[in-house]
A and B are shown apart, each in its own frame.
Chain A
Amino acid sequence: MENMPSSVFSPSPALLRARWLNSLQIILLPFGAVLAALIVGAILIALTGVNPFFAYQKMWEGIAKSNYQVGLVLVKATPLLIIGLGLGFVFNSGVFNIGAEGQLYMGALLGTAIAIQDLGVPAWLHVALSLLGGFVGGGLWGLLPGYLKARHNINEVITTILLNYIAIYIVSYFTHGPLRDNPLAEAALPQTPQVQLSSQLPLIWPPTRLHAGFPLGLGLALVLYLVTYRMAFGYKARAVGSSPAAAHYAGMNTTLIMVIVMVVSGGLAGVAGTVEILGVQHRLRDMFSPGLGYSAIAIALMGNNHPFGILLAALLFGALQVGANNMQALAGVPVTIVDVIQATVIFFVAVSAMIRWRASLPRLFRHKGEANG
């Protein structure tokens, strides 16, 4: 909404200045939100009897103490980035997909099903086919709620969240049943066999765990930037988000656009799930995601639905997660503090329009009644 299409007229200095201030606020607000969320986190940590400075020091050491840790930050950021890109894309069109978790599971299921087969094809092709499978699995899981929303105006929030639970049980069925590794063994874990070597993503910064999924995510960020801000489709998709009725009267096929953005968003979540299997876990396990699809909502919102903002947010939350593990080990602060920090960021971003509005009023003209404008 903030990013109105550029005017065809040459912009006046006043407009340029306003636009510059606008971008500054868009950049500064999320950082303010993170700072505020970290303060909320510090208060909570202090309440549990731990010195928050000590805890945050351990967090920082966990992030920056070695190249290995930095590599881990990028590994953790990768699925958040890829899901977040899809969510930013779909949020721009005014569709609030909170089904990324289920789409991630379905994508990982189909991607893994391809990755564990011995296809006898070159590695690059095997990886590509698996990722494609991930996109299709997640995309199909996004298609249904997208269609219901676009065609029948059925609230996507409720359908996508219910589909999350259903997807997790479907994956649970496959990892306990048809795709289970060594099903006859007494103590077999609910997981698939290891994916073929030819489908594993190569490590690109040994000895760290960083795999080729991260540059893939960077590439996707660039592609989504180009699609969203440099192509007609992206303009249309954003127009549907700003005003569906206006987009409809302008002759756009809003139904089709909504369905496409939902499929892309679900597909990217599916790719993220597959990348996580091919690059890190190498097996699909029952309940393998620690809520990546929900964390990515905070990331998309914090990144203002912009691919580059989402990249920064994903890196930040990847770092927070890696740091929180160290903080839990050495300061005894539970890692779930990161969820609280993420939720607080969502709160601040959600009320940011009002914060900007209140901040933009000159003091003299501000009085109580105006807030109700």
Chain B
Amino acid sequence: MEEFVWLTFLVSLLAAGVRLATPLLFAALGGITNELAGVLNIGLEGMMIGGTFGAYIGALLSGSEWGGALGGMLAGGLLGLLFAFLSITWRGDQVVLGTGLNIFALGLTSFLFRSMYKAGITQFVPSFQVWNIPLLSDIPLIGQIFFRQVPLVYLAYLLIPIATFLLYKTTWGLKLRCCGEHPRAAETVGVNVIKTRYLALCLSGMLAGLGGTFLSLGQIPAFTEGLVSGRGFIALAAIIFGRWKPLNVALACLLFGVADALQLRLQGFGLPIRYEFLLMFPYLLTLITFVIFVNRGDSPAALGKPYPDQ
């Protein structure tokens, strides 16, 4: 009996971990793309925030959660385009601009949302429902953990091999990584560094926007301010933790997802730990792993440097 309780707990913990890792995973895969192309994107958080709102509006206008996903990608992609314009064409400092983008996205979404609902009553929007994958969802344990999720979760995990293939096995990926390692060399062999970095940032924004979509439409269908609350930064830490390799980064995201699921569950357990410390746990874990794993010196060589350099 005792063992059964523990098993149920473990399965529900891991299933929740897989779910909570999803927004991190979308954002982190986006972040890998722009970092490999040489752009440091502190604004990942802001792009996710844009995604949460874009998804809400998209779902509201289209009456469908997939329209919401489109809206989330569009909002994130537009923020990516703005970031690209300011950091590449106008050569602004990437860290300063990223910080600005976070404040911009938070302020703009809150401004628009409050303007829409001055009375404080919001509208219902459709949300993603769980899709049980036939056969696979019947596998004991594994099925419950991985295959009884909303479709965005499957999409996020499908993107891991796709991203690995595109970034590390194709000519396109090689050219993109070249822009992050040695942009001048890339340019001399005919790669358009500016165009590549623009594209990487837009892709990254769209993926982060999907992460935001998951937050507003993947669980409880609602837009609230503070829905993202630092997940963009946790994704940034996961990228470094996973050394820019999609699979390793995904594992890092999964670790943070499970940590989040664990603290949520422990809150209901009546442990002698105050819930404030449980809420703090994912951030603390991220900080510790970040500090331990950060400095192995294999980050893209031209990361954060504007191109063309002076």
Q: In the complex, are the beta carbons of A162 and B230 less than 8 A apart?
A: yes
Tell whether B104 is near chain A: CB-to-CB under 8 Å: yes
Within 8 A of B (CB), among A283-308: 294, 297-298, 301
Contact B310 A166 (CB under 8 A): no
Chain-A contact segment, one of B63-71, B203-211, B288-296: B288-296
With most chain A CB atoms within 10 A of its CB, the pick from B86, B100, B283 is: B100
Interchain CB contact under 8 A, A169 and B279: yes
Contact across chains for B295 and A159 when beta carbons are under 8 A apart: no
Question: A360 interface residue, CB < 8 Å from B?
Answer: no
Segment 45-101 of B: residues with Cβ below 8 Å from A: 86, 90-93, 95-97, 99-101
Give the distance in Å from the alpha carbon of A170 to the alpha carbon of B291 in the complex.
20
- Considering only residues 303-360 of chain A, those with a C-beta below 8 Å from chain B are 332-334, 336-340, 342-344, 346-347, 349-351, 353-355
Bound-state CA distance A242–B193 (Å) is 27
Given that A161-B230, A334-B111, A340-B104 are known contacts, is A154 also in contact with B295, CB under 8 Å in the complex? yes
In Å, the complex CA distance between A278 and B110 comes to: 30
Bin chain A's interface residue count: 35 or more
Nearest residue, chain B, Cβ from A295: B103
A343 closest partner in B (C-beta): B104
**A163 engages B90 (CB within 8 Å):** no
Tally inter-chain residue pairs, CB-CB below 8 A: 136
**Other-chain residue from A159, A342, A346 in contact with B291 (beta carbon distance below 8 A):** A159
Tell me, rounded to whole Å, the shortest Cβ–Cβ distance linking A280 to chain B. 23
The reply to whether A346 and B99 contact each other, CB–CB distance below 8 Å, is yes
- B103 x A165 contact (CB < 8 A): no
Residues in A lying within 8 Å of B, measured CB to CB:
44, 48, 96, 98, 148, 152-155, 157-159, 161-163, 165-166, 169-170, 172-173, 176-177, 294, 297-298, 301, 332-334, 336-340, 342-344, 346-347, 349-351, 353-355, 372-373
- State whether B90 touches A354 (Cβ < 8 A): yes
A172 to B275, CA, bound (A): 10
Task: Using CB atoms and an 8 Å cutoff, list the residues of chain B in contact with chain A.
Answer: 42, 86, 90-93, 95-97, 99-101, 103-104, 106-108, 110-112, 114-115, 118, 229-230, 233, 236-237, 240, 274, 276-277, 279-280, 283-284, 286-287, 290-291, 294-295, 308, 310
* A-chain residues with CB within 8 Å of residue B279 when the two chains form the complex: 169, 172
CB pair A346–B294 under 8 Å, yes or no, is: no
CB-based contact B97/A350 at 8 Å: yes
Q: Can you give 21 A-B contacts (C-beta < 8 A)? A: A96-B96, A148-B291, A152-B295, A154-B291, A158-B236, A162-B284, A162-B287, A163-B287, A169-B280, A170-B276, A176-B274, A177-B276, A294-B99, A298-B103, A334-B111, A343-B101, A343-B103, A346-B96, A347-B100, A349-B96, A354-B91
Rounded to whole Å, the gap between the CB of B99 and the closest CB of chain A is 6
- Whether A351 and B111, one on each chain, are in contact in the complex, defined by CB atoms closer than 8 angstroms, is no
Point out which of B90, B91, B229, B290 has the most chain A C-beta atoms below 10 A from its C-beta.
Answer: B90
For the complex with contacts A170-B280, A176-B274, A294-B99, 5 further pairs of A-B residues with Cβ separation under 8 Å are A48-B115, A158-B290, A169-B276, A350-B92, A354-B90
Do the beta carbons of A373 and B92 come within 8 Å of each other? no
Which residue, B86, B99, B110, B308, has most C-beta atoms of chain A within 10 A?
B99
Cβ distance A281 to chain B, nearest Cβ, rounded Å: 20
- Please give the distance in Å from B196's CB to the nearest CB on chain A: 15
B228 CB, min distance to chain A CBs, angstroms:
12
A96 to B310, CA, bound (A): 22
B93: chain A residues within 8 A (beta carbon):
350
- Assuming the contacts A152-B295, A161-B233, A350-B100, asked whether A334 and B110 have C-beta atoms less than 8 A apart, the reply is yes
Q: Tell me the nearest residue of chain A to B278, going by C-beta.
A: A169
Across-interface contacts of A353 in B (CB, < 8 A): 91
Report the minimal beta-carbon distance from A101 to chain B, rounded to whole angstroms.
11
Residues on the B chain within 8 Å of A350, using CB: 86, 92-93, 96-97, 100
